[in-house]
Chains A and B, each alone.
Chain A
């Protein structure tokens, strides 16, 4: 079982703090009312049964009892509303913190499988924190405050019962922890086998068209039944163990109440206890165990949330590639000096030593076969990757000491496979300059080789409507239009003319030339001769060597 409350949750989710304070207040009030309810009931029953009291005689106590019930209802209602509200806020705050940090970590960190993982974590994962906050945390607070208060109340009434409760109640968390330790591996395995089973189902269902193409769909049905059975048997074996902890919890709680009841009954026979005391203690005893049981019951619903929160914190704890803080970015040449890049955990160099200088007004073409590290070089220049060796300097200042956001505000980038964020093509072009006029946007689009009149609704065409039809080439041109709308000092283009016909290619090459002539330093990753010929300087990247 993991830590009940991760301190990092308090730091990143302010909603949790408010909730905890509110829960303490609600739990304390509830504890007092629970005790009051037991005293009222014990008093009324005892007086009516043994002293011949009429309804009129006990009307004050019954009146108090009514108020107590009302009070408990109001408190429960407030507590629940608070908890629900805090849960919604917490998931929002966690999502915000997670995504803000993911933005700092950048696209290289996010590439590959991580993208899917982060997408799931930022949506369903973070949402699963809600039951943890709404149910588990408040029940935890109640489980501390109510049993203690009720225990003290029992102590004032009956020493023997107080001792029974004081011995057994703390045993529950102890036993739970012991069994928890024993079953931890089993429980982890349970989620694992259940996950494997639905993962396998998804795998087979996704591959059904492929299976059908080879006439294998029937054979697989048979196999699925077998696998299902095997996992079910394994899961049941695990459940037998992992249900043990709640079994012990329930057993201890009810046996203790039974022991208290019998002990009261036997001592009353000797005249050692009054009915009033006996009944009061009998009503109080289960209230000690109820909140502890509730924690156990909520734990399973909370487990996913705890897991998700831990994943969020693990990501937030990851250092970005560049952590510089200097915001006054110097002007001047960008000098790449003997830079190599090896991604963490990779046994292959992604970029062999390269040196080049980017100057204002000049176009530098970077060429080399696939996989030579051209995109890695661009990522390094954007500050998404730190050089493994060598340095990148800007006007003599090391890039890694610069504030990444300040540095990137000087860049214009057209990636190999740009993403249109929309909602309209125009919005996308305006990304760098939200208040550009329609005319400016149209000009930029035209300069990038897109005639707005060929789009269904001009620049106001929705990106989503085009998405399936917009080829990577067209998306690159929209991204180029972004840069042309607001030309930055340093422009990077990754194969900007791939997939274009010759006429459009000439337009794009011209646009790039104009960017340089206007004073931008331009770096182009290129295969195509037309681009390479137009460059002022050509840098050939060496094929990378595999490190043993």
Chain B
């Protein structure tokens, strides 16, 4: 087997690896940070200037001396909401744009390495999680970067303001804000991460038990064991509850600490500012400003624990996204590829061994010779490597030994060329969320409706289409009509028929049909594939009698 050269960017955190995508939107993000700073700044300004205004008014100066402050208070009052609105729009726009780019990058990498290069293709839920992970990375600009940056800028500005009024008060505010911006988020995110770590196995167990209950609901109910199973789930949940207890206490501590830091800053500021007023170091008018500044500035740091939590979540998602971006192509194209053979060719395997990356070689030393236009059945029980064999022939897996299409060795061809010769029909082909006809047409862009219909008829889906309300245009997939496993398989075969590959690989195409239907479909299928080289894989020889030869894998 070819040794894979795993490219691990050591020491670089996965979140940092996402920065290039976020950075493509730096102009919009900078604007968002500016707008966010203005929004929080308006809140601080509103309270600080109001305090100054009221204190000054107590000395009863002529009103024109206060005009500027009055205008300022009103402007801050109006500005805050407007800046916030603008910030949210700009930051969301930027986040969505960055997300689009990342999504495409993930797709492009998957397009190269799928299905063997990433584990996600062996378990449907992993793929779903990958998609959620990609979506979750939008929190990096939206909930981490912009709130943290704008909060920090406002906090620094407040400290500078306080420092100019009374240096000691500036120091007090600096210390309290530093603690609020570091210790509090740290407690929150560390306890969340720790709870996550501790409860992940328990959650996995719970989710597994839920799925088993739902899958086995009939068996459990009729065996009188459903209640026992529900009790077991309740116990799983209590276990998770106990693990979550520490986290509740930690987040309680964090929110108490937040209040303590802002309120404590007020008290300590008073302790340093009151003597300063008496000594003349501080103008009395500014005492109220200094006393209220910690309360007002608290808003700048209050979002930070949330940002830290979001960062923790993004980190997990980023890790899994980066794994895909770094995934190595298990079947890299050769540097100087040989052209694909033309016409109907045979397939000749000599001493072929292969397996999925990270696993053993399920297929070992296989010899198999299929003449051009020949039809060979391959049978064997699960796990003997039937699907592995087809994945090798479809150019999805690397192999040891020799696989020749006609007279060309397969790994001298590009994957794309291999698949222009070999048509692969997986066991449960994917049905895209579109119409029946588009699902078939993807095999041969530009094919007419009639051509697609002929292919669908050939796999025995004609009656189903006739009964379907919209015929060929019937939507299928996630948002369309229910398609049974048997129909899915036949849809997949229809694609291969339409595409016209000279070599066709069929993976249990009649597995989900009852025996009589299976026989009819098998016969029709072989008729439609007349003249092409066919490799038909099944776990039982039933219905394969009309093939040239049946090979048993052991």
A residues sitting closer than 8 Å to B (CB atoms) are 37, 41, 44-46, 48-50, 52-55, 58, 62, 65-66, 68-70, 72-74, 76-81, 84-85, 88-89, 91-92, 95-96, 99-100, 102-103, 106-107, 110, 112-113, 115, 118-119, 122-123, 198-221, 224-225, 228-229, 232, 235-236, 239-240, 243-244, 246-259, 261-262, 264-266, 268-269, 271, 274-275, 278-279, 282-283, 286, 369-370, 382, 384, 405, 408-409, 411-413, 415, 418-422, 431-432, 434, 468-469, 471, 479, 482, 527
A457 to B266, CA, bound (A): 69
Instruction: Scan residues 218-250 of chain B and give those whose CB is less than 8 A from a CB of chain A.
Output: 218-230, 233-234, 237-238, 240-241, 244-245, 247-249
B218 in contact with A228 (CB, 8 Å) = no
Partner of A214, one of B50, B247, B433, B443: B443
Q: At the interface, yes or no: B207 with Cβ under 8 Å from chain A?
A: yes
The answer for the CA separation of A78 and B251 in the assembled complex, in Å, is 10
Rounded to whole angstroms, the CA-CA distance of A408 and B96 in the bound complex is 53
A100-B230 CB under 8 A given contacts A268-B58, A421-B220: yes
Tell me whether B54 and A85 are in contact (CB under 8 A).
no
A88, B110: Cβ atoms closer than 8 Å = no
Beyond A84-B252, A278-B54, whether A209 also contacts B115 by CB under 8 A is: yes
A248 to B73, CA, bound (A): 18
Cα separation A79 to B249 with both chains bound (whole Å): 10
Q: How far is the CA of A469 from the CA of B445 in the complex (A)?
A: 39
Check B430 against A210 for contact (C-beta < 8 Å): yes
**Interface contacts beyond A65-B267, A88-B248, A431-B219: sample of 18 additional A-B pairs, CB < 8 Å, sorted by A:** A45-B288, A99-B210, A123-B206, A198-B134, A203-B477, A208-B110, A208-B121, A209-B430, A210-B429, A217-B111, A225-B104, A232-B93, A244-B85, A247-B82, A265-B70, A278-B58, A418-B218, A421-B213
Q: How far is the CA of A169 from the CA of B69 in the complex (A)?
A: 24
B424: Cβ under 8 A from any A Cβ:
yes
Residues on the B chain within 8 Å of A113, using CB: 482
Interface SS of A by simple majority: helix
CB-based contact A243/B89 at 8 Å: yes
Give Cα distance in the complex from A229 to B259, angstroms: 43
Q: List 20 A-B contacts (CB under 8 A).
A: A45-B287, A73-B260, A81-B251, A119-B210, A215-B420, A221-B104, A224-B103, A232-B97, A239-B88, A246-B85, A250-B80, A254-B46, A254-B80, A261-B46, A269-B66, A271-B60, A275-B58, A282-B47, A432-B225, A469-B383
- Is A206 a contact partner of B216 (Cβ separation < 8 A)? no
Sorted nearest first, the 4 A-B pairs with minimum C-beta distance are A258-B77, A77-B256, A69-B263, A81-B252
Q: Are B103 and A221 in contact (CB under 8 A)?
A: no
Verify B219–A415 contact, CB threshold 8 A: yes
Q: Which residue of A lies closest to B88 (CB)?
A: A243
Residues of A within 8 A of B517 (CB): 370
Stretch of B268-276, B347-355, B363-371 lying at the A interface: B268-276
B residues near A (Cβ < 8 Å) are: 42-43, 46-47, 50-51, 53-58, 60-61, 63, 66, 69-70, 73-74, 76-78, 80-82, 84-85, 88-89, 92-93, 96-97, 100, 103-104, 106-108, 110-111, 114-115, 121, 124, 127-128, 130-132, 134-135, 206-207, 210-230, 233-234, 237-238, 240-241, 244-245, 247-249, 251-260, 263-264, 266-267, 270-271, 274-275, 277-278, 284-285, 287-288, 291-292, 295, 381-383, 394, 396, 415-416, 419-420, 423-426, 429-430, 432-433, 442-445, 477-478, 482, 492, 495, 499, 514-517
**Does A264 lie within 8 Å of B58, measured CB to CB?**
no
Q: Are the CB atoms of A247 and B74 closer together than 8 Å?
A: no
> Which residues of chain B have C-beta atoms less than 8 A from A54's C-beta?
274-275, 278
**Which chain A residues border B284 with CB–CB below 8 Å?**
48-50
B445 and A261 contacting across the interface, CB-CB below 8 Å: no
Cα distance A266–B71 when bound, in Å? 13
Return A455 CB to nearest CB of chain B, in Å: 15
Q: Are A419 and B215 in contact (CB under 8 A)?
A: yes
List the B side residues contacting A41 at CB < 8 Å.
Answer: 266, 291-292
Q: A107-B218, A210-B430 are in contact. Are A205 and B107 (CB under 8 A)?
A: yes
CB distance from B376 to the nearest CB of A (A): 20
- CB distance A73 to B271 under 8 Å? no
Q: How far is the CA of A286 from the CA of B73 in the complex (A)?
A: 14
Contact between chains at A55 and B218 (CB < 8 Å): no
Min CB distance A487 to B, Å, is 13
Chain A residues contacting B214 (CB-CB under 8 Å) are 102, 110, 115, 118-119, 122
Q: With the chains together, A202 CA to B430 CA distance in Å?
A: 11
Shortest Cβ gap from B171 to chain A (Å): 18
Contact of A206 with B430 in the complex, beta carbons under 8 Å: yes
Which residue from B100, B115, B241, B382 sits with its C-beta under 8 Å from A228? B100
The answer to whether B256 touches A76, judged by C-beta atoms less than 8 angstroms apart, is: yes
* Contact residues in A for B224 (Cβ distance below 8 Å): 405, 408-409, 432
Nearest-Cβ distance from residue A157 to partner chain B, whole angstroms: 13
Contacts of A240 in B (CB 8 A): 89
Neighbouring B residues of A110 by C-beta, 8 Å = 214, 217
Q: Which residues of B sit under 8 angstroms from A89, Cβ to Cβ? A: 241
Assess whether B382 is in contact with A123, with CB atoms less than 8 Å apart: no
- Are A257 and B50 in contact, CB atoms less than 8 angstroms apart? yes
- Report whether B420 and A203 are in contact in the complex, using a CB–CB cutoff of 8 Å: no
Judge whether A221 and B107 touch: CB under 8 Å. yes
Cross-interface CB contact of B219 among A48, A229, A268, A418, cutoff 8 Å? A418
Contact status A84-B251, CB under 8 Å: yes
Cα A305 to Cα B69 with chains together (Å): 45
Taking the closest CB of chain B, its distance from the CB of A146, in whole angstroms, is 14
**Chain B residues within an 8 Å CB radius of A211:** 111, 442
A106 and B221: CB pair below 8 A?
Answer: yes
Q: Which residue of B lies closest to A110 (CB)?
A: B217
Q: Which of B103, B219, B227, B285 has the largest number of chain A CB atoms within 10 A?
A: B219
Known contacts being A72-B263, A482-B223, is A422 close to B212, with CB within 8 Å?
yes
Given the contacts A49-B284, A275-B58, A92 and B237 also touching, CB distance less than 8 Å? yes
Q: How far is the CA of A502 from the CA of B89 in the complex (A)?
A: 70
Closest chain A CB from B189 CB (angstroms): 15
State how many angstroms separate the Cβ of A212 from the closest Cβ of chain B.
7
Interface centre among B96, B234, B383, B415 (most CB of A within 10 A): B96
Min Cβ gap A317→B in Å is 19
B77 touches A76 (CB 8 A): no
Determine the distance from Cα of A207 to Cα of B434 in the docked complex, in whole angstroms.
Answer: 12
A479 to B220, CA, bound (A): 11
B211 and A119 within 8 A (CB): yes
Q: Are A239 and B107 in contact (CB under 8 A)?
A: no
| Complex: A65 Cα to B128 Cα, angstroms | 53
Q: Are B382 and A208 in contact (CB under 8 A)?
A: no
Verify B210–A85 contact, CB threshold 8 A: no
